[in-house]
Amino acid sequence: MSNELAGAALAAYFDHTLLKPEATFSGIVKLCAEAKQNGFATVCVNPYWVPEASEQLKGTGVGVTTVIGFPLGASSTFAKVAEARDAIASGATEIDMVLNVGALKSGRFAAVEQDVRALAEACKGRAVLKAILEVGLLTDEEKVTACAICKRAGADYVKTSTGFGPGGATVKDIALMREAVGPEMGVKASGGVRDLETVRALIAAGATRIGASASVAIVGGGTGEGY
């Protein structure tokens, strides 16, 4: 059935993304206009642009996603929570936090879980929380462990990549993550998603959200550049 996805049903999967450090106000306005026109789920912008995006999208039904602890995940939990609370107060409806990859790879699973849990508590009842695993840096075993941690800690989604690390979203990783979290959580595919065929394959494998900067080209059946 997912192979038939098109139009509004397909567009509703997308977080239309602009996370480049050189993104300008005019770029954010264009991003929001495209999101409104196409009916994307959200725009995804850096925290500085959350108030602008929120204002542009007021009353449209398009949400505002922002990134926290981005792109390394190595900020303190205190800093991540403060950043998330500020973003939510500024109009963010969804929070994509970066998992502490170094702590995970060090076997400090309790610390990683505490980090995600603190963000889940900050977001509870106020915003959706997605945890970015940065799968290109992890073994399959570490991916499964990270998914289990995020599920226990109360995240709403697990997400493949920041788009700034190695690799990106693959059908194999989405299937692995979906199996690890079960049907209860969302799974977001991001990083190098640029064409409709790939998107349909990722959705068929279990993705419930797609992060891409090429969203407009993809829903039009073409291929785009970027995140």
- Please identify every residue annotated as catalytic: 96, 159, 188
Q: 17, exposed or middle or buried, with CB in 10 Å at 0-12, 13-18, 19+? A: buried
DSSP H or E segment with residue 58: none
Place of tokens 């009842």: 125
Strands (E), 69-215: 94-98, 128-132, 157-159, 186-190, 209-212
**8 Å CB contact between 214 and 193:** yes
C-alpha dist (Å) from residue 135 to 62, 127, 128, 129: 28, 24, 21, 18
DSSP-derived secondary structure letter, 68:
E
Q: Which two tokens stand for residue 5?
A: 């996805």
- The per-residue b/e assignment along 39-57, b for 16 or more CB within 10 angstroms, e otherwise, is bbbbbbbbbebbebbbebb
